[in-house]
Amino acid sequence: MIRYWEKRFKSGILTENIELDKEFNAIKKELKKSIKKNFAGSLAIRMVDSGSCNACEAECNALSNPYYDLERLGISFVASPRHADIMLLSGVMTFNMYHHAWDCYEQMPNPKWVIALGDCAKNLSVFEKTYAIKGVDLPIDYTIKGCPPSPKDIILGLLEFLRSKE
């Protein structure tokens, strides 16, 4: 245990992009005024994979590593759509996931938004339409571009989305 604490102190704080904190605090102030009722100062995200290659999910998982530590901004991934403000949708929307994704969307309380993660949802990325791909017809409010978007792209994308909601 002593070794652990020694290592812990030596490595210090790894979290980067501290400058985002300031920006986010500024947005948060405005947010509080405009949609305080809806967000209560924090964003709850439900991640739904509708047929991606798993790279987008890996990058979302990376958001909670010490380098990015997304939760410090008040943005958290929740386990149920009923707790969520935003659906983060990755993938091409396959035939077999179509009804489940819509189910998930309908379970979310109003007001709700859908953010597309990666290029797949918008234009299938490098893939092509086949019989097994239905395509996304959920009402997408914002797209975070990239294949896959890096964790920093995702954070910036979320901030940009929040700004557009002011």
Partner 1 sequence: MRLVARFAKDLIDSFEVIDIYDNDIKRYTLSKDNPTLETLTIKYPAALWMEKKINDEFGIIFKNSFDTRNTIKHEYFPKNIYPMRKSFSKKEIEFCDFKEYKYEEIEGDSLFVVPVGPIHAGIIEPGHFQFSQAGEEILHLEVRHFYKYRAIEKMCEGKKPLDILQIISRVSGNESIAYQVAYRDILAQSSGIEIPKSLKQKYAILLELERIIHHLTDLGFIPNDAGFGSALAFMSAASEEARRAMKKLTNHRFGFDTIKSELDLDYNILNEYLKKLKDDLIFFRDWIEDIPSVWDRFDTTGVLSKKNAIKYGAVGLVARASGVKIDCRDNDFYKSFGYEMQVGKKGDVGERFTLRIKEIFNSIEMIERMQTDSSESIELKDFKDGEYHSFIESSIGELFIYLSIKNGVVDRLYIRDPSHINWQLFHTTIYKDIIADFPLINKSFDLSYAGNDL
Shortest distance (Å) from residue 114 CB to partner 1: 14
Task: Provide φ and ψ at 114, rounded to 5°.
Answer: -115, 125
Cβ-based nearer residue to partner 1, 77 or 142: 77
Task: Tell me how far apart the alpha carbons of residues 155 and 62 are, in angstroms, rounded to a whole number.
Answer: 11
Place of tokens 């091409």: 92
Task: Tell me how far apart the alpha carbons of residues 49 and 92 are, in angstroms, rounded to a whole number.
Answer: 9
What is each CA distance from 67 to 6, 13, 15, 151, 159, in whole angstroms? 20, 9, 4, 10, 17
Specify whether the CB–CB gap between 25 and 118 falls below 8 A. Answer: no
Asked whether position 128 contacts partner 1 by CB under 8 A, the answer is: yes
The candidate with the shortest Cα–Cα distance to 120, out of 110, 129, 108, is 129
Q: How many residues bind partner 1 (CB under 8 A)?
A: 51
Cβ-based nearer residue to partner 1, 51 or 162: 51
Specify whether the CB–CB gap between 35 and 43 falls below 8 A. Answer: no
List binders of partner 1 among 16-45 (CB under 8 A): none
Shortest distance (Å) from residue 60 CB to partner 1: 5
Q: Which two tokens stand for residue 75?
A: 């943005």
Asked whether position 123 contacts partner 1 by CB under 8 A, the answer is: no
Site string for partner 1, 83-122 (x = CB under 8 A): --------xx-xxxxxxxx--x------------------
Cβ-based nearer residue to partner 1, 18 or 126: 126
Shortest distance (Å) from residue 40 CB to partner 1: 22
Which residues contact partner 1 by CB under 8 A? 1, 3-4, 7, 14, 47-62, 64-67, 77, 79-80, 91-92, 94-101, 104, 125-133, 147-148, 150
